[in-house]
Amino acid sequence: MDNFKPRIIIFCCNWCSYAGADLAGVSRLQIAPHFRVIRTMCSGRIEPEFVLKAFQNGVDGVMITGCHPGDCHYISGNYKTIRRYYFLKLLLSEFGVNTKRLKLHFISAGEGIEFQKRVNEFIEEIKKLGSADYAQKE
Amino acid sequence: MRQIEYEIINTVEKLFADKKIDIFIGYKKGTLSLQTSPYFLSEQDDVRKLVWNSFCSNNLAVFIPRIIPNSKSKESKPVGILCKGCDSRSLVGLIKEKQINRDNLFIIGISCPGIVDRRKILSRLDGKEIIGIDEDADSIVVKLKDGEKRFEKEEYLCESCLNCAHPTPSIYDVLIRGAVYSLQAITPDPITKDFSSKPREERWKIFETEVSKCIRCYACRDACPNCYCKECFAEQTKPQWLGVSKGLSEVIFYHIVRILHQAGRCVDCGACVRACPMDINLRLFTRVMVDEVKERFGYEPGISLKDTPPLATFSADDKQEFMTEPE
Ligand code: SF4
Ligand code: SF4
Ligand code: SF4
Ligand code: FES
């Protein structure tokens, strides 16, 4: 299990969390190299299809990040994300999928350290869970 | 039953005579027994062909966004449509989602006694040929070559009809009072509650077994009034969400997304279930969402034209609990 390298997708919104990730980078904060960032204009752009497609293609975890509530640059995108994310999680867990592999965090442009912390935490958690077995059943 | 059918026919005849509508959508006798077909008629057509019975199972609201432009001109007349409780709930959803203007509809509401599940009846006939059907207030009589069989309606209703909270249309221009619906609705639905209480692995197994029967014909989508997208994600090619195979992961993907697209919108009419040629218990999954939306947001789709669907809005009180692990 020690050499298990999880594959993780992190969705970042253009205005806050992507800038937060960027800050983590230019501040040279150490983050385990097991994730790829996909940038969207707003966390509200992230459709359930995106998340499911990632899982279907065999990633081990998906993290959605956006601006803090009240800070969305499109005013309410992230509030809607919260509800959508809730339904997605609910449905997945209803069908017996382990929803620990899906996370939502709010990270502002100034929170490089927060980004580092959340991502490292998530990677650790996914490492414990091991590789996703429900993905790509066929 | 006959009485109600006459009332429908007379009302429609009068609407045509008064030049209130140009077209009416109702039901006519189907080509197979225990079935009806949607019937589109204009003034020249035979109004007497309209029927009303326990097999009027299509949700007629499905045709509205597909055939009637939202921006009808002022001169054109409204479209007449026959609505059971669920059809009218679907129309409310469509009006709220701005797919149709209320003014473009003339709704003949009918308080619905429930739709009989033809498959339940067929399963009791051992494949024998049906020669005729008779129906009275409480039962269906199926005539066979070697006699007849009587079925109590209440025992053979569709699952969504067995637990229908609003059999009387929520919006209408004229209401025809049909037979009384006598069952008591229970929320959460006992069947889905039972499903939800099963252990995680078992739920996945059930879901997998059910959807693995799917041949991806998309009849469930085509029967649903909520699925009016000009291009469904299932058929998009840029990006291509779904491959063209019948592989299990593609099927699971299709179903999860379809159910999610129904969250806060599904009116539990059961049209998708009745349309599925593979007998997949689709309701088990959509109804979970219906109950959850009701419990969580106190929202029932299709009841009022005023309240906003939960996924189209937010509240600043949507706190942490939405982000933690649901059970
Ligand atoms: S499944 Fe979704 S994308 Fe497809 S028609 Fe229905 S609502 Fe639209
Ligand atoms: S998903 Fe099925 S039950 Fe729900 S509104 Fe559509 S057709 Fe009716
Ligand atoms: S109607 Fe049934 S078989 Fe056809 S796509 Fe829907 S679930 Fe699959
Ligand atoms: S712009 Fe960051 S969440 Fe909307």
**Per-residue pLDDT of chain A in tens (138 residues, 90 and over written 9):** 567 899 999 999 999 999 999 999 999 999 999 999 999 999 999 999 999 999 888 899 999 999 998 899 999 999 889 888 988 988 888 887 788 999 999 999 999 999 999 999 999 999 998 887 654 443
Angle at B301 between CA B160 and CA B104, to 5 degrees: 105
With cut-offs at 50, 70 and 90, classify the pLDDT of residue B272. very high
Q: Is A29 a member of any domain?
A: no
Residue count of chain A: 138
Overall average pLDDT of the B66-74 stretch: 70
Number of domains in chain A: 1
Interface of B with A (CB under 8 A): 196, 200-205, 207, 233, 241, 247-249, 252-253, 256-257, 259-260, 263-264, 285, 288-289, 292, 310-316, 318, 322-323, 325-327
Size of interface A-B (CB pairs under 8 A): 93
Q: Is A1 a member of any domain?
A: no
Overall average pLDDT of the B124-142 stretch: 90
Residue A134's pLDDT is what? 55
Rounded CA gap, B85 and B68, in Å? 21
Residue A125's pLDDT is what? 94
Q: Is A118 a member of any domain?
A: yes
Whether residue B312 is predicted with pLDDT greater than 80 in this model: the reply is yes
Q: Determine if ligand 4 sits within 6 Å of the CB of residue A13.
A: yes
Lowest mean pLDDT: which of B17-31, B77-91, B133-147, B177-191? B177-191
Structural domain containing residue A79:
8-22+34-129
**Closest-lying ligand 2 atom to the alpha carbon of residue B225:** 6
Please state the ipTM of this predicted complex.
0.88
User: What is the SS3 assignment for A41-55?
Assistant: CCHHHCCHHHHHHHH
For residue range B189-218, list pLDDT tens digits in order.
Answer: 888 889 989 988 898 899 999 999 999 999
Q: Is A92 a member of any domain?
A: yes
Place of tokens 């509401």: B109
Strand order of the β-sheet with A102-106 is A35-40, A8-13, A61-66, A102-106
Residue A136's pLDDT is what? 42
Q: Determine if ligand 2 sits within 6 Å of the CB of residue B57.
A: no
Q: Is A60 a member of any domain?
A: yes
For residue range B97-122, list pLDDT tens digits in order.
Answer: 999 989 899 999 999 999 999 999 99
The number of CA neighbours under 13 Å toward the Cβ of A96 is 17
Whether residue B313 is predicted with pLDDT greater than 90 in this model: the reply is no
Give the number of other CB atoms < 10 A from CB of residue A32: 15
Residue B74's pLDDT is what? 66
- Give all domains of chain B, ordered by start, each with its CATH number: 2-117+157-309 (no CATH), 118-156 (2.30.30)
Cα distances (Å, whole numbers) of residue B198 to B217, B254, B291, B326: 29, 23, 17, 15
Whether the CB of A94 is below 8 Å from some CB of chain B: the reply is: yes
Q: Determine if ligand 3 sits within 6 Å of the CB of residue B214.
A: yes
Q: Which residue has the higher pLDDT, B178 or B71?
A: B178
Contact residues, chain A, for B316 at CB < 8 Å: 69-70, 79
Whether residue B327 is predicted with pLDDT greater than 60 in this model: the reply is no
Q: Determine if ligand 3 sits within 6 Å of the CB of residue B227.
A: no
Rounded CA gap, A81 and A74, in Å? 12
Residue B70's pLDDT is what? 65
Q: Atom 2 in ligand 4: which residue has the minimum CA distance? A: A67
With cut-offs at 50, 70 and 90, classify the pLDDT of residue B295. confident
Q: Is A138 a member of any domain?
A: no
Whether residue B310 is predicted with pLDDT greater than 90 in this model: the reply is no
Q: How far is the centre of ligand 2, averaged over its atoms, from the C-alpha of B5 (Å)? A: 26
Q: Is A115 a member of any domain?
A: yes
Whether the CB of A27 is below 8 Å from some CB of chain B: the reply is: no
Residue A137's pLDDT is what? 42
Overall average pLDDT of the B80-102 stretch: 94
Q: Which residues of B157-172 are buried (b: 16+ CB within 10 A; e: fewer)?
A: bbbbbbbbebbbbbbb
Residue A138's pLDDT is what? 35
Test mutation, B208, B260, B308, B324, chain A, max A CBs within 10 A? B260
Q: Which amino acid is at B120?
A: K
Whether the CB of A57 is below 8 Å from some CB of chain B: the reply is: no
Q: Is A135 a member of any domain?
A: no
Q: How far is the centre of ligand 4, averaged over its atoms, from the C-alpha of A14 (Å)? A: 7
Rounded CA gap, A88 and B257, in Å? 9
Q: Which residue has the higher pLDDT, A35 or B180?
A: A35
CB atoms A93 and B323 under 8 Å: no
Q: Tell me which H or E stretch contains A66.
A: strand A61-66
% of chain B at pLDDT higher than 90: 64
Overall average pLDDT of the B282-302 stretch: 90
Overall average pLDDT of the B13-24 stretch: 94
For residue range A37-58, list pLDDT tens digits in order.
Answer: 999 999 999 999 999 999 888 8
Q: Determine if ligand 2 sits within 6 Å of the CB of residue B116.
A: no
Q: How far is the centre of ligand 1, averaged over its atoms, from the C-alpha of B325 (Å)? A: 27
With cut-offs at 50, 70 and 90, classify the pLDDT of residue B244. confident
Residue B325's pLDDT is what? 52
Residue A3's pLDDT is what? 79
Q: Determine if ligand 1 sits within 6 Å of the CB of residue B232.
A: yes
Whether residue B326 is predicted with pLDDT greater than 60 in this model: the reply is no
Q: Are B167 and B110 in contact (CB under 8 A)?
A: no
Question: Chain-wide mean pLDDT for chain B?
Answer: 90
Q: How far is the centre of ligand 3, averaged over its atoms, from the C-alpha of B255 (Å)? A: 9
Q: Which amino acid is at B141?
A: V
Q: Which residues of B221-259 are buried (b: 16+ CB within 10 A; e: fewer)?
A: bebbbbbbeeebbbeeeeeebbeeeeeebbbbbbbbbbb
